[in-house]
Amino acid sequence: MNHTRIIDTICALRWGSWCLVSLYISLLSGVIVGLQYNPSEPFYSVTAIDLLVPYGAFFRSLHFYSSQGFFLFALIHFLCVYDATESYTFQSWLLLMITFPVIIFLLFTGYVLRGDNTGFSAGMIAEAILLTIPFIGTLLNDLLFAVTEQGMQRVYLHHVISLDLLFLFLAWDHLRRYRVRVHDHIPFICLTLLFCACIAAPLEPERIGESYIAGPWFFLGLQELLRYFHPLFAGVVYPLLFLTSLLSTHKSSRLLNASINFSCCWLLLYLLLSIVAWIR
């Protein structure tokens, strides 16, 4: 009973509203940072934003942490309202579930655009994974990354335009149902601003002699999996298995219980891999 009350109390919090507020903060701060960013010189550009642009470090932290918060609040919101999604058609469910990999891809491209040790290495790993896909790997890499040949140009384009438009298209039917009044969330906004003013967004220049580079926190499990399996399985098949099972967790699915069990096992394994990679 106590556990049930705790869960009910947690789910009663305004996760959905906080998710939307974080999204708005991320978009507004992203415009400010994006206007100062030069994709032809990524690391120098990010460093200049932190050191030379008035309040540049604050706005970069605001964009970084509000984006992370948006994703985490969206996950918690999804878990809390899952029982209420029975009214969704499978098409609506499909579009909504695809927003999650799109959000992750947005976060990932943000890491790559930093151009620092972590970002550049993450971009190289993503390229190597895509190139292992038979027949269409080269085409996908040219379309999405092409960091080796084009630098950050295409990654920047996807981060500021194409992925944002894709997210809005996929989530529009869901987003239009909700309204957030800013004055109802002043404490949350102030806490976010204070946190970002005190905690700088990460930036990791290359360190001489460093042999192991930890990627973004959501990339750690995949990075660890790459140590044991072929990139095609670790970077493509394994994530697609989870996405497929997530799509099958719609309330009307005949594979509902099996899909939920598989998704939980997948997440548990990914969490363990992430912990191993984090302490390595």
Q: Judge whether 169 lies within some domain.
A: yes
Same domain, 60 and 89: yes
DSSP-derived 3-state class of residue 141: helix
Q: Judge whether 85 lies within some domain.
A: yes
Same domain, 200 and 227: no
Which of 164, 185, 205 is a domain's end point? Answer: 205
Same domain, 88 and 161: yes
Q: Judge whether 143 lies within some domain.
A: yes
Q: Judge whether 230 lies within some domain.
A: yes
pLDDT one-digit tens code per residue, 181-236: 888 899 999 999 999 999 999 998 876 656 667 889 999 999 999 999 999 999 99
Same domain, 21 and 157: yes
Same domain, 248 and 126: no
Same domain, 226 and 92: no
Nearest to 162 by CA among 143, 175, 142: 143
Q: Judge whether 210 lies within some domain.
A: no
Same domain, 60 and 124: yes
Which of 140, 175, 205 is a domain's end point? Answer: 205
Same domain, 164 and 234: no
Domain limits at 196?
2-205
pLDDT at 129: 96
Q: Judge whether 136 lies within some domain.
A: yes
Q: Judge whether 36 lies within some domain.
A: yes
Same domain, 123 and 240: no
pLDDT at 212: 66
Same domain, 84 and 147: yes
Same domain, 158 and 24: yes
Which of 182, 205, 228 is a domain's end point? Answer: 205
Nearest to 236 by CA among 140, 170, 157, 148: 140
Q: Supply the pTM of this predicted model.
A: 0.93
Domain of 121, CATH number, reads: 1.20.810.10
The beta-carbon contacts of 228-233 under 8 Å, at least 24 apart in sequence, are 230/132, 231/128, 231/129, 231/132, 232/129, 232/132, 232/133
Question: How many structural domains are present in the chain?
Answer: 2
Same domain, 8 and 36: yes
Cα Rg of the chain (Å, integer)? 19
Q: Judge whether 98 lies within some domain.
A: yes
Residues of the chain with pLDDT under 70: 1-4, 6-8, 12, 207-212
By CB atoms closer than 10 A (0-12, 13-18, 19+), residue 158 is: buried
